[in-house]
Amino acid sequence: MLSLFFIYGLINSAIILLQATGFAITFSVSGIANFSYGALYITSGIITWTLLHHGLCLGISIIISVVITSLFGFILYWAAIYRVRGMPLSEVIITFAIGVAIIEFLRWKGFVTYEFTIPPILEGNICIAGIPIDFQRVLILVAAILMLVFLYLFSHFTKIGLALRGVAQNEQTALCLGIDSDLISSVSVMLGSGISAIAANLIFPLGLISIDAGYDVLLISIATTVVGGLGSSAGLILAGIILGYMQTATSIFLS
């Protein structure tokens, strides 16, 4: 029982981190709470499913899905968020309205049945301490670790990453140094949207593509970001682990 709790708690923590990191990055860099985040998560899964059913292979479908979702996030900033930048309540209202519109549009188009699934990237399973774990969950765990490493290297050793950190730490000073804060903010929304798409394409093979999961992912992302301290990378990781193990404990010991 303890082995099951430890292993699946770790996997659930990785899932939560994947789901929440994109939202947290956008908020920590630009201060924008992108409430359309869950809708973008769902949309990326639908795009992948659509491309698969038009004959494209899984790998190409995922890449296109991530690119389209990232570009949508970039356009979303300049078309909507930019106009209300600096007005937190207006940012929340407009992004939430766009998110609801996307989800309800997908519902209207019929993406509400049980046929919408994405095949796993890796098939098969492995036993660890007598606990069977499918390779897709192992991939999710590895992907979460690699994503955190990549984001650290990206933010500390690339020009764009350093600009993102600069705006996150002190936007006024960054402006004095010639950094375009609006451009960097749009990049943060694009990056967050891309991460949501990566997370969706890794996690959806574990079950069905449910439209209402968009709201669940948004709530999980907000909770993880808030518990993690609103901008703290270490806090976000710790919050993901805490929530992941709480979720696992609830399903194992209380169900």
Every domain of the chain and the residues it spans? 2-253
Specify the CATH number of the domain 2-253.
1.10.3470
pLDDT at 18: 95
Query: Cα–Cα distance between 165 and 177 in angstroms, integer?
Result: 13
- Answering whether pTM is above 0.75, one says yes
Contact yes or no for 107/200 (Cβ under 8 A): no
Ranges under pLDDT 70 in the chain: 113-115, 255
Which two tokens mark 125? 């399973």
CA angle 43, 142, 156 (to 5 degrees): 85
Segment 158-185, tens digit of pLDDT: 888 888 888 888 888 888 888 888 999 9
pLDDT at 111: 84
pLDDT at 114: 66
C-alpha dihedral (66, 216, 230, 242), degrees to nearest 10:
-110
**Three-class DSSP labels, 52-64:** HCCCCCHHHHHHH
pLDDT at 220: 95
